[in-house]
Amino acid sequence: MPYALLLPAALVLALVLGYPFARLVVLSMQKFGLKQQFGAPPDWVGAANYTTILQDTQFWHVLYRTVGFCFAAVVLTMVLGMLVALLTRRVGRVLRLALIVSLLLAWAMPPLSATVVWQWLFDTQYGLVNWLLTALGGDFHGHSWLTNPWSFFGVALIIVVWMGIPFVAFTLYAGLTQVPGEVLEAAQLDGANAWQRFRHVIMPFLRPVVLILTALSVLWDFRVFTQIYVLQKAGGISRDTNLLGVYAYRVAFGENKFDLGAAVAVVMVLITLGFTVFYLRQITRQEEL
């Protein structure tokens, strides 16, 4: 009976996600360029497209860059989200309401709109950040944050983390409400300081929530696209700031190499699925212990 209840959802997922992914895999095994766009039949090349991208040093640079950016974004999102959740629990009712409304507003903003707002803040001529840093004594008049890869990823990291904090903070705050107050009070009476109470009392209750949020954050940040693409269009350099999602798009639609772009996308999906299976197994093992 439970399998019968899951059958409609499984069929919908198979239709919505199964066919596009199967088409992507087929495309990655064909020679498909601009000629095929105008009706020329594609030739089967097997795994040649995968061999081409795996032998390309640019692909490996993009992959390492993507993993590094994802790691930094996940760590910052989880740490700051946890701090915001703890702050939300400790402040009074009015401040808590203001904090929750602020988080909701940040969360409700579409990624494209949020990226454009931050792009204006870091604008070379009229940006608030340059004006503020210059007013504080720095020489940032006309400074461009998007032409240097490190400062480019700094701006991108701020946007991605800023958009990820609300969901993490809300979920952790909901988890914090389930921590028994009498247990915290007993730990305090036994002499445990704030860090010891957090580590030995709060974290065991939150560990399943933290594990799931970390997995979701990795999946979201590994395939970030909008923020990077918009910042590149705003004046950033693309070759040294491509992440895997943008790289696949530029190879396919910028260079008209749809076959290689599809191969990059399939590799990206396989990495994501591999991480998901590994992480779910770790979560399952911890629940069994």
Return the pLDDT at 131. 92
Residue-wise pLDDT for 122-165, tens only, equals 988 888 999 999 998 888 888 889 888 999 999 999 999 999 99
Return the pLDDT at 93. 87
- Both tokens of 204, joined, read 């065991």
Return the pLDDT at 1. 63
Distance in angstroms (rounded) separating the CA atoms of residues 66 and 160: 13
30 secondary structure, DSSP code? E
For residue 225, give the amino acid letter: F
Ranges of the chain with pLDDT below 50: none
Return the pLDDT at 234. 84
Q: With contact defined as beta carbons under 8 Å apart, do 144 and 137 qualify?
A: no
Q: Say whether pTM exceeds 0.85.
A: yes
Distance in angstroms (rounded) separating the CA atoms of residues 148 and 127: 17
Residue-wise pLDDT for 27-41, tens only, equals 999 988 878 878 788
